[in-house]
Amino acid sequence: MKIRSVKELRAQVSAWRSEGLTVALVPTMGALHAGHLSLVEDGFRRADRVVASIFVNPTQFGPGEDFDRYPRQEQNDAALLDSVGCSGLYLPSVAEMYAPGFCTAVTVEGLSQVLCGVSRPTHFSGVSTVVTKLLLQALPDVALFGEKDYQQLAIIKRTVRDLDIPVQIVGVPTLREADGLAMSSRNRYLSPDDRRIAPLLFQVLSEVGTAFLSGQNADALCADAAARLIPGGFSSVDYVAIRDAETLDKVDRWSGNPVRILGAARLGTTRLIDNVGIPVDQTNL
């Protein structure tokens, strides 16, 4: 079932609620892959109905980023969602999301300025604002986001907690290709040569995690890791970092508190991000 307006969305959610059913929301930008479908499947373990949204949000792309070429494939996405029994597909237009005169922003200080926020200074405010809107449009019981975008997940959890948005946020572990590359809609930008290089990011982050657990210093490990990515074929490295899993504050040495090893690097014009949790079985915030 395709839904294109806030009014229809609210009517559908209200109809389900009046039957006593619970509702999960899976916000996406489309170009769906198995990782997205795992969010929908996880949604069905937590709620009776799952709505996926597809909205390529212009306000979270900076100047010169890939908003125009970001893949749009509504028919294919709809078929994929049908294949996992998704209850509804919400496809708002830019005009439906941003009415004339729109001028409000939700920002999360600190968390939004580090890591990816350094090279993408307006990105996370765009994310916090659009996710706040989607959550308040749908008012689901639970909303699911991939751990692949780990900083985004941390910022969304903080937004929901700080603004008292009445929803539970769930992070879902990253799905990977057989060689370890995190699934991402942007992987399709990679040339065959770059695709062969790409899994090195996950491999390096995993090795940093193991070395950190053995007691090594974070700064030295991260510097070494970044230095390995360039001879491995990456064009440039935005960061490799070891951070507290919840606050994303810097961590020097393993103390037993959950941390996240995060990296962002470029292969040609494509920017890849990935992250791994330490300890591995407690990666969810």
Nearer to its own copies, 150 or 212 (CB): 150
Is 33 one of the annotated active-site residues of the chain? no
Here the tokens at position 77 are 């996405």
Query: Inter-axis angle of helices 218-229 and 200-213, to 10 degrees?
Result: 160
Nearer to its own copies, 95 or 103 (CB): 103
Strands 168-172 and 142-146: parallel
CA dihedral 114, 119, 125, 127 (to 10 degrees): -100
When asked if residue 121 is in the footprint of its own copies (CB under 8 A), the reply is no
When asked if residue 195 is in the footprint of its own copies (CB under 8 A), the reply is no
Q: Among residues 53, 39, 32, 203, which one has the least CA distance to residue 131? A: 53
Intra-chain end-to-end CA distance of the chain, in Å: 33
- Closest separation in Å from C-beta 50 to its own copies: 20
When asked if residue 158 is in the footprint of its own copies (CB under 8 A), the reply is yes
The DSSP element (H or E) to which 160 belongs, if any, is: helix 150-163
- Is residue 258 within 8 Å of residue 279, measured between CB atoms? yes
**CA angle (185 as vertex; 243, 120 as ends), nearest 5:** 45
When asked if residue 129 is in the footprint of its own copies (CB under 8 A), the reply is yes
- Closest separation in Å from C-beta 114 to its own copies: 12
Residues 50, 39: Cα–Cα separation, whole Å:
10
Q: Among residues 172, 142, 200, which one has the least CA distance to residue 284? A: 172
Residues 55 to 114 in contact with its own copies, rule: CB under 8 A: 99, 101-111
Nearer to its own copies, 85 or 110 (CB): 110
When asked if residue 136 is in the footprint of its own copies (CB under 8 A), the reply is yes
Q: Among residues 153, 195, 155, 151, which one has the least CA distance to residue 177? A: 195
Query: Considering only residues 137, 152, 185, 275, which one is a binding residue for its own copies as defined by CB under 8 A?
Result: 137
Q: Which of 25, 26, 36, 111 is catalytic?
A: 36
Q: How many residues bind its own copies (CB under 8 A)?
A: 30
* Segment interacting with its own copies (CB under 8 A) among 70-78, 163-171, 183-191, 262-270: 163-171
Residues 237 to 256 in contact with its own copies, rule: CB under 8 A: 247
Please write down the long-range contacts of 105-109, taking CB distance under 8 Å and 24 or more positions apart: 105/129, 106/132, 106/159, 106/163, 108/155, 108/158, 108/159, 108/162
- Closest separation in Å from C-beta 16 to its own copies: 16
- Closest separation in Å from C-beta 6 to its own copies: 6
- Closest separation in Å from C-beta 158 to its own copies: 6
Nearer to its own copies, 49 or 133 (CB): 133
* Interface with its own copies (CB under 8 A): 6, 10, 99, 101-111, 128-129, 132-133, 136-137, 139, 158-159, 161-166, 247
Active site residues: 36
